[in-house]
């Protein structure tokens, strides 16, 4: 399903989050201490939404620092399409004290093709 606006994107993104992200990042976006970084008030995510796009598309491994804590885990890449990635990250961006905004499928497509 394609979102017609930001509000629909957030609503659709919630379901994608619950199905794909909740187990590690938790229902409240707080993550798991020392294992999975928080998405809530995440300085790492809020500094550059492209980081989130890349993590969802291609996975993420190695050390990252989120809100002053170092995490060294592996996040697998997902099999989500551009619309789904845009929806779930727009949901994250607009919850748990993050800065808001909208991630579009076009932004995701651009990151998908980036080296």
CA geometry: angle 102, 26, 21, nearest 5 deg: 55
Pairing state between β 60-66 and 69-75: antiparallel
Structure confidence at residue 85 as a pLDDT band (50, 70, 90):
very high
What pLDDT, in 10s, does the model give residues 61-82? 999 999 999 999 999 999 999 9
H or E element that contains 72: strand 69-75
pTM score, two decimals?
0.96
What pLDDT, in 10s, does the model give residues 11-62? 999 999 999 999 999 999 999 999 999 999 999 999 999 999 999 999 999 9
Write the burial class of residue 4 (CB in 10 Å: 0-12 exposed, 13-18 middle, 19+ buried): exposed
Task: Provide the residue ranges of all domains of the chain, joining segments of one domain with +.
Answer: 6-113
Fold of the domain built from segment(s) 6-113: Cytochrome Bc1 Complex; Chain D, domain 2 (1.10.760)
Using the predicted structure, report yes or no on whether residue 115 has a pLDDT greater than 90: no
């Amino acid at each position: 399903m394609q979102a017609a606006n930001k509000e629909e994107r957030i609503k659709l993104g919630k379901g994608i989050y619950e199905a794909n992200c909740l187990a590690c990042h938790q229902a409240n976006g707080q993550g798991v201490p020392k294992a999975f970084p928080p998405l809530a008030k995440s300085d790492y995510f809020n500094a550059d939404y492209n980081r989130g796009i890349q993590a969802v598309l291609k996975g993420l491994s190695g050390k990252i620092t989120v809100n002053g804590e170092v995490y060294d885990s592996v996040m697998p890449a997902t099999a989500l399409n551009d619309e789904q990635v845009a929806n779930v990250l727009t949901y994250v961006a607009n919850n748990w004290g993050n800065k808001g905004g909208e991630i579009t499928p076009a932004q995701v497509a651009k990151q998908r093709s980036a080296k």
